Amino acid sequence: MATILIAEDDRAVREFVSRALRQDGHDITAVGDGQQALSALKKGRFDMLLADIVMPQLDGIALALKAAKDYPDLPVLLMTGYAAERQRAHNLDALIRDVIAKPFTLQEIREAVRKMLATPAPLSGDGTVH
């Protein structure tokens, strides 16, 4: 299974998502904000980043931009409960593969992660994988 980094400032959501993905056999590292996520990325190798868009200090979109620069092959799935933030993320389709709307069910988050991990990285205009 996959090694997944979760960045979510709401402890209840972070624990819910972590539990759900562990049930599928994934190895989970869960942190409370984008800065902690950047530190975790420097210390370990991850197959996927799952981050909330709205977080203090470093939001999920800024985190995705920084992660894409240093880890261009890392798939990013964002979570949000705000429609405007969802649209903002969709404007970055080259970096962010998908956005899941909160609230979501256990099954919806597990399926979104399964889909993300099964989808090959998109090709850039020069034919390289990003």
Q: What is the pTM of this model?
A: 0.86
Q: What is the pLDDT of residue 129?
A: 43
CB-neighbour burial class of residue 70 (10 A; exposed 0-12, middle 13-18, buried 19+): exposed
pLDDT digits (tens, 9 = 90+) for 3-14: 999 999 999 999
pLDDT digits (tens, 9 = 90+) for 108-122: 999 999 999 998 766
Q: Residue range 122-130: average pLDDT? A: 45
| Fold exhibited by the domain 3-118 | Rossmann fold (3.40.50)
Q: Residue range 48-59: average pLDDT? A: 92
What's the mean pLDDT when you consider all of the chain? 85
Is 20 a residue whose pLDDT tops 50? yes
Q: What is the pLDDT of residue 92?
A: 59
**Domain definitions of the chain by residue range:** 3-118
Per-residue pLDDT band for 86 (boundaries 50, 70, 90) equals low
